[in-house]
Amino acid sequence: MRTLVTGGAGFIGAHVVDLLRQRGDDVVIVDDLVTGLAERVPGIVIHEMDIADTASVAPLTELLRAERIDSVIHFAARKQVFESMQRPAWYVQQNLGSLANLLLAMEGAGVRRLVFSSSASVYGTTEGEAIVESDPTVPVNPYGETKLVGEHLVAAAGAAWGLRGVSLRYFNVAGAASSLLGDRAVLNLVPMVFERLDAGESPLVFGGDYPTPDGSCVRDYVHVSDLADAHLATLDDLEQRADGWHDVYNVGTGTGTSVLEIARIVREVTGIEIAPELRPRRAGDPAIVVASAAKIERELGWRARRDITEIIASAWNAHRANSGEHAV
Ligand code: WQD
């Protein structure tokens, strides 16, 4: 199998590239290296290309042909919710422009299999029950809008020219494989807690009065290596599917963890005494976001194998290795 991975030098992309290579697949990476890091994928050629630019369609088509690509996994995108609220039009250009250009190139080169990185943010405000794929999709920020329209575009390409597509809706991704760098985007909870510890500060808890067991927000944290496994399962499944097929799957564990529980596990894993500091709620945060992971288990045989302690321990090891210290 010969797979093109856009955004292959990013946090999640590099974990998928690593697994593909371990099983002997050929991998070609396209990345603009704005947030991606070449050091994440040593020894693999990176075609440095901004695929949000329409001028990239011709060289991308040529690359797909020349490399005899069978399948594409499309990670390349911007992913900061707050930034998307400040620069909505730019998010459309970046996330939907790149997908549109990729689809044009795939159609031109006759490449018919695509795994698209979507997000739980397509659901918008959630009610606290485990979220199933058929729940309403009403995104509450431009980032989520780009992911939802992206899913629609992938489905439309199936109807128009026979693309076989899958959109994977990621929940809260964290952790790191032992050999790879962790998430350098420090705006998510786990890396933010580590940043605070490095600075000798206590982690912040945004809101202690939510209708949850301990008052702090509950999320479904999935290990990036489990998420990477889900991509391989999806890619293999696409081989059996008919042209024109499209489906969506949640990728989560089905288990929720609160911010205060995370703080407790960080204390256990690091051995650092921390007293979380309670702050007001952060605007726009739903109380509980937990996936039902039943559909992907039933249809693709995938389920998460790593729990929240392993997620945090692996993230901490990667963080310490990144900052040049000794890993635990
Ligand atoms: C998790 C929880 C915070 C930092 C976002 C996007 C989502 C997806 C993942 C891309 C929340 C709380 C955080 C801190 C805290 N992105 N928190 N103290 O908001 O669940 O999801 O990132 O696809 O679409 O919306 O993730 O990691 O920012 O926050 O208490 O210092 O931790 O309030 O409840 P979130 P997060």
Q: How far does the centroid of ligand 1 lie from the alpha carbon of residue 189, in Å?
A: 6
Give Cβ neighbours of residue 200 (< 8 Å, ≥ 6 apart): none
Range in 87-91, 145-149, 317-321 the model is least confident about:
317-321
pLDDT in tens, 140-157: 999 999 999 999 999 999
Q: Looking at this predicted complex, what is its ipTM?
A: 0.97
Ligand 1 atom with the smallest distance to the CA of 286 is 34
Amino acid at 90: W
Q: Tell me, yes or no, if 123 is annotated catalytic.
A: no
Domains and CATH numbers, the chain: 2-173+221-251 (3.40.50.720), 177-220+253-322 (3.90.25.10)
Cα-to-centroid distance, 118 and ligand 1 (Å):
16
CB of 182 within 8 A of CB of 11? yes
Q: In the predicted model, what is the mean pLDDT of the chain?
A: 95
Q: How close is the Cα of 46 to the center of ligand 1, in Å?
A: 30
Provide φ and ψ at 313, rounded to 5°.
-60, -40
Probe target for ligand 1 pocket from 188, 205, 220, 278, with the most ligand atoms within 8 Å of CB: 188
Identify the burial level of 135 via C-beta atoms within 10 angstroms of its C-beta, where 0-12 means exposed, 13-18 middle and 19 or more buried. middle
- Residue located nearest, by CA, to atom 33 of ligand 1: 206
152-178 pLDDT, tens digit per residue, is 999 999 999 999 999 999 999 999 998
Number of the ligand 1 atom closest to the C-alpha atom of 144: 24
Nearest protein Cα to ligand 1, atom 34: 217
Element (H, E) at 218: strand 218-219
Residues 202-240 have pLDDT tens digits of: 999 999 999 999 999 999 999 999 999 999 999 999 999
CB of 117 closer than 6 angstroms to any ligand 1 atom: no
Q: What is the distance in A from the centroid of ligand 1 to the CA of 113?
A: 31
Poorest-pLDDT segment among 52-56, 111-115, 187-191, 257-261? 187-191
Q: Give every CB contact of residue 51 below 8 A, 6+ residues apart in sequence.
A: 6, 30, 32, 60, 76, 98, 101, 102
93-121 mean pLDDT: 98
How far apart CA 226 and CA 141 sit, in angstroms, is: 27
DSSP SS3 for 327: coil
- Confidence band of 327 (pLDDT split at 50, 70, 90): very low
Query: Is the CB of 85 inside a 6 Å radius of any atom of ligand 1?
Result: no
Distance CA 58, CA 48 (A): 14
CB 278 within 8 A of CB 205: yes
Determine which helix (DSSP H) or strand (DSSP E) holds 145, and give its type and residue range: helix 142-161
Nearest CA to ligand 1 atom 36: 188
Residue 140 Cβ < 6 Å to ligand 1: no
Beta strand extents in 49-140 (DSSP E only): 71-74, 113-119
- Report the C-alpha gap between 13 and 22 in whole angstroms: 14
pLDDT tens, 251-282? 999 999 999 999 999 999 999 998 999 999 99
Q: Indicate the pairing of strand 218-219 with strand 257-258.
A: antiparallel
- Assess whether the C-beta atom of 51 lies below 6 angstroms from ligand 1: no
> pTM value?
0.96
For the cut 60, the answer to whether the pLDDT of residue 66 exceeds it is yes
User: How many angstroms does the Cα of residue 89 sit away from the middle of ligand 1?
Assistant: 23
